Amino acid sequence: MNLVPIFLSLAAAASAAAPSKIFPYSYDQHDMPNGLRVITVPTEFPDVVALYIVVQAGSRNEVEPGKTGFAHFFEHMMFRGTREFPPEKFQGVLQAAGAANNAFTSDDLTAYHTTFTKPDLETILRLEADRFQNLEYSEAAFKTEALAVLGEYNKNSAAPASKLFERLRETAFRNHTYRHTTMGFLDDIKDMPNQFDYSRKFFDRYYRPEYTTILVVGDVQPAQVKSLVNRYWGGWKRGSYRATVPAEPPQDGPRRAHVDWPSPTLSWLTMAYRAPAYADTEKDTAVLDVISFLGFSDSSPLHRKLVLAEQKVDVLNGYYADHVDPYLFTVSARVKKKEDLPSVEDEVTATLAGFKDTLVSTTRLEEVKRHLRYQFALRMDSSEAIASTLAHFIALRRTPETLNRLYDLYASITPEDVRQVARKYFNETSRTTVTLTGASK
Amino acid sequence: MRRMVLFAATCVVAGAQPRTVLLPGKSPLVDLRFAFLTGAADDPPGKEGIASLTASMLARGGSRTLSFEQISQRFFPMATQVSVQVDKHMTTFSAQTHIDNLDAFYAILRDMLLDPGWRPEDLTRLRDDQINALRTGIRGNNDEELGKEVLYNAIYAGHPYGHHNFGKVSSIGSITIEDMKAFRKARYTQANLILGLAGGYPPSFVKRVLADFGKLPAGKAARPDVPTPKKIDGMSLTIIDKPTRAAAISFGFPIDVRRGHPDYAALLVAQSYFGQHRSSAGQMYQRIRELRGLNYGDYAYLEYFPNGMFRFEPEPNLARPQQIFQVWIRPLELPTAHFGLRLALHELERLVREGLSEEAFERTRGFLSKYVSLLVKTKSAELGYAIDSAYYGIPAYPAYVREGLARLTRDSVNRAIRKHLDTGNMHVVLVAPEAEKWKRRLLANEPSPMKYNAPKPDAVLEEDKTVEKRPIPLREDRVTIIPVDRVFE
C-alpha cells in the first residue's frame, strides 16, 4: 500500500484536464463480521491521532411523534458512563491522555470525536468501545442531562438564524423528519426528562455495529488499528432495527412564512427549492453544488451587485446540503433594510431563472471547478480536519471513495448540465420562502 | 497610576527589518501571517474603531490597482482569501494558499497591504459591516459574547482597553479615509511587523517578502505603555436589559499574569482544573451542569478568548500585556439564574480556599502537558503561536508550557491561586430581561432555593442550602443597568 501523500499529483491535478483522485491519502477500509466498518488514514502529521466514530443515525431517525431532538439528546447521554467507566473515570482517562473530546449530531449522523497523541490509541479505543456497548445511566442522571439540553436550546435561542431555519424546515416539509431541526421542537425538549425508557430503546436500535464506522486518521498504521478494534469492538452484537422514515410527497405549490423577531436585528431572506438526495453516481447534486458557487459565492454577479455595488445585503450564500434523503437547495441573504426584502427576492429568483435560460460560460465553470479542488486541498491541513471532512461523507456513503467519485462528477459537468439541472429543480411549485424581520427600536 | 511596559523582548531597534517567524516544511500549503503590533488600544478618543476599520480597508477593500471585486474574482479560483483580526495590540492579516498559486496570490496580497486603494465605496460597506457586527452580531444575536465584551468594557472603563475592538457606533461613523491613512502610516511600520511563513514556500520567497515589506516606514519599537486598570473595590454589577429566554453571565477581574510571568503555568493549571474551555472535566462544569443540569457549560479563562461559542481552541495573535481572569456561565433558565450565579461564586471561593488536591494537581498537569500539543495541530496555528511567543519573549508555546508545568508543585499552584484570584473584588455582567427586578432581587439577597426534577445526593442538597442564601455583597451605587440598545453606541 502506498502511504505517501500524493501532494505533487494533487497540485498537478488542480490544473490538469484529467484530474486524479481528489482525496490525497491512501486509506484502509475494513469490514468486521459484526458489520462494523473501520477506516484508517495514515497521514504525515506527526504524533497526533484523530478518531471519529460515526453513527448513521441523526434527527432523520426521529420517526415517532414527540421524540424530536432525541438523537442529539442521546449524544449527551453517551457521556453518562458505564459500570466500568462511570463519568468521572471516563473523564479521568481522557484527561490523562490530554485528549480533546466532543460529539455532534446533525440530520443524518451522530459523531463522537477525540484527538490525542499516538501512545494513547489503545486506551481511547478501549474507552470508546466500552460506552458504545455497555452504556448505563440512572434515571436521575437522565433527567439532569435533559436540562443541559434545554440549556443548549437556550444558548442557541439568541440567534435569529436558528429560528429562520427552524421555520424553513417546518414550512418546506410536512411528512419527512427533516421537518424538525436537530435540536428538536421546544415542547419535545421540555418533555425529554420523561423519556427514560425510550432512551434505552434508542440506544438498542441505533448504537449497533452496522450503523457505525470507526475512522482513525493520523500517525497510525492500519494493522495496529484493526487489531485494536477487533480486540475491543469484535464482540459487539449486530442489531436488526430499520427506521421507516416517511417520504415527503412532491410539493404542490410555492410556500411562504415569516418570522417576527422580538428585538432589533437585520432582516433575512431564505429561499429553498426541493432538491434530490446526495448522489455520487448521477450528476444532479454535484451540479447543484456548482450552481451554488456560480450564483451566490463572493465571485458571483449577484454578490457583486447586492453586496459590493448596491450594498443592500451583507451576507449572501447558496448551498445544496448533502443529505441521505431529498432535502433543499437554499439561498440566504441578510438584508440591511427590510424594505429591500422584495427586491432582493426578485434578484435571487432572476439569478436562478438565468441558469435555465442562458448557458454559463466554460471559463466561469472551470473557475468554479478549480475553486472546488483547491478548497478541498486547503482543508487537508491537519489529521483532525481530514477526519472531520471524511465524517460527513461517511454518514452518506460509508467510504472516502465517495469523495473521489463526487469530484470526478464535478470535473465532468458541462454548461448544458447546469441548464438542465436548473430547469429540473428551480420551479416555483417546489419553492419555500421564509423572511425574518426584527422589531423596530 | 502605575504603568506597565511590555517586556524588552518585543522591542526592535528602529530601522531594523521586520522580524520573521519561519516554519518551512514540505506541505503543498503555505500559511502567511503578517502581525502588526498595533490595535484597538491605539484608537484615539473619538475615533474608537479606527484600528479595525483600517485593517478591514486593507483586507476586505481594494488595492490601488485592483478593486475589491476584481480581487475577489482573482482569489476565487485559488479558493483563498485574506483574513484579518484586530486586538488591542496586534493586527494580523492571515491567509493560506496552495503552492501552485503562491506567486499570483502574493502579488495581490502585497498590493492590498502595501498599496491600498482607499475607495469611498469600500469605506461605506466596511463601516456598515463594523457597525452591524456590534449592533447585530453581538448585541442583537449573541447574548453570551455580549456579556463577555461588556465585562471587558466595564473592567477597563477609562483605559485604552475600555471599548470593543470594533469601536463604538458613534465613533465609527466619524472615521475618514484621511484618518485611516494617517493611522496606517504611523502604525504599519517595519519595527511593528512580525512576519510569519509556514509550509512549502521556496527560500527565495522570504527574501521577496522582506524586500517588499522593507518599503514600509522603519518606525520605532512598539512599546505598549498602558496603565493598569483601576482596582475593583468590592463587587460591582452591570445588567444588560434585554428580552432574552435565558440569562447569560460573565464575571472577572484583572490579573498580573500573562505568558512570561513566573506564575503563568500555575494559573494555567488552576484555570484548567476549574473550567477548561469546552471540556466536561472542569470543576464548575461538573458542579453546575453535570450534577445539577443548570446550563450547557461553565468555563474559566486567563487570556482573552473571543467567540468561544464557535471554537474549541483559542485563536492565536491576541497577545496582550494585560489580562483578566474571567468566568463564563452559559445561559441559565431565568428562575435558576440567581442560584447559578451564587453557585459559580461559591465554587470560585472553594477553589481559592481549598486549592487543588494532589491528585487533581497531577491529573490536570498531566492533561495540559499533552493537550498543549493539540493547540498547534495545524501549521497555521503553530505559526500564530510562534508569533505570540516572539511577542511575549518566550520559547515555542508547547515547550514553554511543558517546562513551566514540570517545575510546579501542588503548593506552588495553590499559592498562585491565593495570590492572583479574588473572590470579593470583581465585576459581574448579567444579560437578562426585567433588569430592575433583577437589581432589587440581587440587592436584597433574596433566597434562591433550587428544585430539581430528579433525586440528588444529600451532600448536594445540603450544599444548596448554603448556596441559596449566599450573600453577594453589592451596593446600590455599584449596580448599573444598561438598556441593550445603548451598548457599544
What's chain B look like in SS3?
A: CCEEECCHHHCCCCCCCCEEEEEECCCCEEEEEEEECCCHHHCCCCCCCHHHHHHHHHHCCCECCCCHHHHHHHHHHHCCCCEEEECCCCEEEEEEEEHHHHHHHHHHHHHHHHCECCCHHHHHHHHHHHHHHHHHHHHHCCHHHHHHHHHHHHHCCCCCCCCCCCCCHHHHCCCCHHHHHHHHHHHCCCCCEEEEEEECCCHHHHHHHHHHHCCCCCCCCCCCEEECCCCCCCEEEEEEECCCCEEEEEEEEEECCCCCCCCHHHHHHHHHHHHCCCCCCCHHHHHHHHCCCCCCCEEEECCCCCCCCCCCCCCCCCCCCCEEEEEEEEEEEHHHHHHHHHHHHHHHHHHHHHCCCHHHHHHHHHHHHHHHHHCCCCHHHHHHHHHHHHHHCCCCHHHHHHHHHHCCCHHHHHHHHHHHCCCCCEEEEEEECCHHHHHHHHHCCCCCCCCCCCCCCHHHHHHHHHHCCCCCCEEEEEEEEEEHHHCCC
Quickly state the pLDDT bin for A7 (edges 50, 70, 90): very low
Which tens digits make up the pLDDT trace of B205-246?
999 999 999 999 999 876 677 899 988 999 999 999 999 999
> In this complex, which of B124, B144, B371 lies closest to A98 when CB atoms are compared?
B371
Asked if the C-beta of B127 comes within 8 angstroms of chain A's C-beta atoms, the answer is no
- β-partners of residue B246 are B333
Q: How far apart are CA B413 and CA B265, in angstroms?
A: 8
pLDDT > 90? residue A326: yes
* Closest residue in chain A to residue B132, using alpha carbons only: A266
The CATH homologous superfamily to which domain B3-227 belongs is Metalloenzyme, LuxS/M16 peptidase-like (3.30.830.10)
Name which CATH class applies to A26-233. alpha beta
- The pLDDT tens digits for A211-227 are 999 999 999 999 999 99
| 8 Å CB contact of A96 and B331 | no
Q: What is the pLDDT of residue A361?
A: 98
Best of B108, B292, B307, B377 to substitute, by most chain A Cβ atoms within 10 angstroms, is B377
d(CA A192, CA A140): 12
Give the pLDDT score at B4: 37
To probe the interface with B, which of A95, A311, A366 has the most B CB atoms within 10 Å? A95
B78 touches chain A (CB under 8 A): yes
Mean local confidence (pLDDT), B358-385: 95
Domain A255-437 homologous superfamily, CATH: Metalloenzyme, LuxS/M16 peptidase-like (3.30.830.10)
C-alpha–C-alpha distance, residues A411 and A150, integer Å: 45
Lowest mean per-residue pLDDT among A308-322, B220-234, B369-383: B220-234
Kindly tell me if the per-residue pLDDT of A267 is higher than 60. Answer: yes
Q: Count CB neighbours of A275 within 10 A.
A: 23
Residue A162 has pLDDT above 70, yes or no: yes
Q: For chain B, what percent of residues have pLDDT higher than 90?
A: 93
Q: Each residue of B135-165: pLDDT tens digit?
A: 999 999 999 999 999 999 999 999 999 999 9
B374 contacts in chain A (CB < 8 Å): 48, 98, 100, 115-116
The predicted structure's pLDDT at residue A441: 65
pLDDT band at A155 (very low <50, low <70, confident <90, very high): confident
Residues of A in contact with B309 (CB under 8 A): 155
Q: What confidence tier does A154 reach under pLDDT thresholds 50, 70, 90? A: confident
Q: B47: distance to nearest CA of chain A, Å?
A: 24
Q: Which residue, among A121, A153, A154, would best test binding to B if mutated, counting the most B CBs under 10 Å from its CB?
A: A154
Q: Tell me if chain A has a CB within 8 Å of the CB of B176.
A: no
Mean pLDDT of A389-414: 97
The 10s digit of each residue's pLDDT in A236-264 is 999 999 999 999 999 999 999 999 998 89
| DSSP three-state, residue A419 | helix
- Does any CB of chain B come closer than 8 Å to the CB of residue A374? yes
Cβ pair A92:B144 closer than 8 A: no
Compare CB distances from B330 to A151, A263, A303 and report the shortest one's residue. Answer: A151
Nearest to A299 among B76, B121, B295 (CB): B76
Establish whether domains A26-233 and A255-437 are of one fold: yes
CB contact residues (below 8 A), chain A span 31-60, against chain B = 44-45, 47-48
- Ordered by start, the domain boundaries in chain B are 3-227, 235-486
Q: Name every chain B residue with its beta carbon within 8 A of the beta carbon of A371.
A: 76-79
Domain B235-486 sits in CATH at 3.30.830.10
Q: Inform me whether the pLDDT recorded for B441 exceeds 50.
A: yes
Average pLDDT, chain B: 94
pLDDT at A407: 97
Residue of B101, B243, B453 with shortest CB distance to A147:
B453
A100 touches chain B (CB under 8 A): yes
Average pLDDT score over residue span A41-66 = 95
Please report, for chain A, the start and end positions of each structural domain, with discontinuous segments joined by +: 26-233, 255-437
Using a CB–CB cutoff of 8 Å, tell me whether B333 touches chain A: yes
Partners of residue B85 on adjacent β-strands: B92
Cα–Cα dist B152/A79, whole Å: 34
- Identify the burial level of B435 via C-beta atoms within 10 angstroms of its C-beta, where 0-12 means exposed, 13-18 middle and 19 or more buried: buried
Q: For residue A10, which residues of chain B lie inside 8 Å, CB to CB? A: 28
Please state the rounded mean pLDDT for residues A121-140. 96
pLDDT at position B16, please? Answer: 54
CA atoms within 13 Å, Cβ hemisphere of A136 = 7
Give the tens place of pLDDT for each residue, B73-129: 999 999 999 999 999 999 999 999 999 999 999 999 999 999 999 999 999 999 999
Kindly report, residue by residue over B242-270, the tens digit of the pLDDT: 999 999 999 999 999 999 999 999 999 99
The CA distance from B228 to the nearest CA of chain A, in Å, is 34
Strand partners, A103: A112
Same topology for domains B3-227 and B235-486, yes or no?
A: yes
